[in-house]
A and B are shown apart, each in its own frame.
Chain A
Amino acid sequence: MAATAGGLDAVREFEASWRLLRTRKRWMTAGYGLLFAIALLVSAWVGEFDPVKLVQGLPRIHEYVAKTLPVLTLSNFWGDLAEWFYGLPRWLTLLWETILIAYIATLLGTIGALAMCFHAARNLALGKTSYWVTRRVFEVARTIPELVFALIFVFAFGIGPLAGILAIAIHSMGGSGKLFAEAVENIDMKPVDGLRATGANWVQTIRFAVLPQVLPNFTSFSLWRFEINVRSASIIGFVGAGGIGQEFYTAISRLYYEDISALIILMVFTVILIDMVCERIRHRLIGKEGFA
């Protein structure tokens, strides 16, 4: 009898605490929801997101896009196509230059990241100062957008691809450096201990115990970085730092409507092609599971 009463009490207690938990959870959800709604309203107000203006703008967007599309007639299809892509030889040269800018910037950025990432890894850092300094350098380099670096470098190195290359290189050094350091922090430390026991110095330890473990990851991160850098290289031309961006900027500001669509098609095609090739190589390097 007493046991049953105790059991009922337990059930009642359980239900009461469950109800309390549920109420608390509902209040929490309502609170976060309210916070989210306020943030949304403030954003809309500060961001001058006016639905009326948006609705008025929509037909103009449509108009603009329609203007950039060429007239392709069936009777003179190839002729129209040739007219649309009249600048193809020059554009292909510029695209090639854009890819080369991305290549050399990725190379420089990777070298920079490689040189510093072992200092920025907690398990291999030589001292607190070098760890702190390399971490901060990576953070600043990856937070400041490449276009801002490009603006400053155009002033220092003059208008042209060199400024763009250095801007993308610095930015990707920060991005790759962080990923590299994380990969180094996740290595198996046994080979490191083994090499240290043989009396190897820091550089030798890294060369023979760390590098063989992380090299496939590093290569695949760098390939991924290259894909990103091709995109970046296509816009740094907006501030005069080389590549196809300059041509695009001119087409937009001088209202060469049909050039705009032709250039976008070329850029998208290039980006997709490079992504596909790099993805193939990446999957071969580290297997599919590494990039869920």
Chain B
Amino acid sequence: MSYHEAPTIAAADAPRLDQDDRPTLRFVTCGSVDDGKSTLVGRLLYDSKTLLDDQLDALASESKTAGTTGGDLDFALLVDGLQAEREQGITIDVAYRFFATKLRRFIVADTPGHAQYTRNMATGASNADLAVVLVDARKGVITQTRRHSHILSLLGIRHVVLAVNKMDLIGFDGDRFAAITAEYLTMAGQLGISQVQCIPVVAPDGDNIVAASTRMPWYTGPTVTAYLESVDVAGDVSQRPFRLPVQWVNRPHADFRGFCGRIASGTIATGETLTVQPSGLRTRVARILTPGGERDRVTAGESLTLTLIDEIDISRGDVLTAGPEPLVSDRLAAHLVWFDDEAMVAGRRYLLKCGTASTGAVITTLKHRIAIDTMAQESATTLDVNQIGYVHLNLDRPLVFEAYRDNRDMGSFILIDPISHRTAAAGMIDLSLRSATNIHWQRLTVDKSVRARLKQQRPCVLWFTGLSGSGKSTIADLVDRRLAELGRHAALLDGDNLRHGINRDLGFSNVERMENVRRVAEIAALFVDAGMIALVALISPFRSERELARQRVEAGEFIEIHVATPLAECERRDPKGLYRKARAGELKGFTGIDDPYEAPQAPEITVDTSELSTEAACERIIRYLREHDYL
């Protein structure tokens, strides 16, 4: 009978649910190609009896066809999941595995050792409490071991198991093991990895994995499993100051306004005082809603919804805090692990995500790069893929954070390339480069709303985006004139005209075009602060840039107008003769020809001048402004 029949259960054997709250240890494995990481993890799964009959059957048959062990069970096949990996015999991506022993649950991130996949190791380490570093007993500590250990230390891993594998191939030589151990401990000391346990193993045979090896009687320490079950990795974030990055504002109806998030550190109780950062406003906790119902007190790691006793403006990216103030700054210093094939360039703009906040960021300086062999700091102008460096960053707006060593959730960030959308780097914040007090916003007595009332309008940005020759400037000019006729106060920022003034130092490379858009967005935001309606006519081909411009002002203050005249029509008009030049190859990187235009997905207004006259397009915009109470 080959179908599955449920087993009969002896009541005494079955674990009881209410007793089953074993803690979870998350660890990462790292080492070079062929050090035997996947085999070690496969062995841990096998020995913990986590594998089930059908999985064992599959392993046995795959070991014969795809194995590298001459038909014996090839434990690496359990974890090398992707077809390409099985073909090449190497692990090329992080695999997450789950197993449990009587004392603990484990989540293991099996990460690749091949040099160009260092980013995956950093990925696995970012959520780990401990690392198992493998070395081949024949090779000892090599460059890859140094690189991985350095990344572990940057990512705040304090606990390492050094598994010296393939002891059988050096005749179970205890002196050789001692030498490797000594060399590694010296390096770990330099890196600030405080807890290291060195264990000699033979992963395929299981020596010192679960059972103590009989072939190495000179080793009296714990097995890998015994150590993982007992090591104390607790670093209690609940004892640190309260930090709650606001994820989402829950407003299901007019009577409820809750702030959702997961607590990064500390505890909070109803009635306690909170400071909202970066605004500095203070309030108190009214109610705490958790997945398990309403509670009086909650602690780090929990997802919850808070309501507050005051109605104050809080949105995603703000941080609710208590106790000592976090760092608030728009300039910071950080360690970077570079991931992208495209090298890091100082002066280029990236999108930075930290906690729930997103902001534009420019790497102003690369202070040094780490020479991985020696761990020495060397001067450099760029970081290539898999290189590590220390940088200064300027942000578009103040960020609320802490040093990574103090608080992982509040001190980690990623950089995203705004054009390719690849995750370009992982960052660990070291320190703030200027104190919060210097940049706390001056609260002005005459604020935006006062100015807006005087002018009888709601200030906003009308952002006209579209291909060259689509009619952006013509429509914007007419809207500007109509607003003047209506007695409203507006200012027109035309991309071409600004290039004669504030942006005349900028050319047309991707970096310079992004800077061009950033400056225009900043100027438009200043006009909005002054209570005015800012009209911007700019090709602004990339959605991410327009999104940054939108984030620069408050919700409801950014109106994206897609001038969606088709390319063929723009090219037919060709008012400046640019399409002809681009087609002739005289103009490189021209939007719509050899450079992309990312159309808005959900613009507030769309007009197409091949269907609408300029006047009709203008009227549609004015009507929108009236219907939405801007005028």
Partners in one complex: no
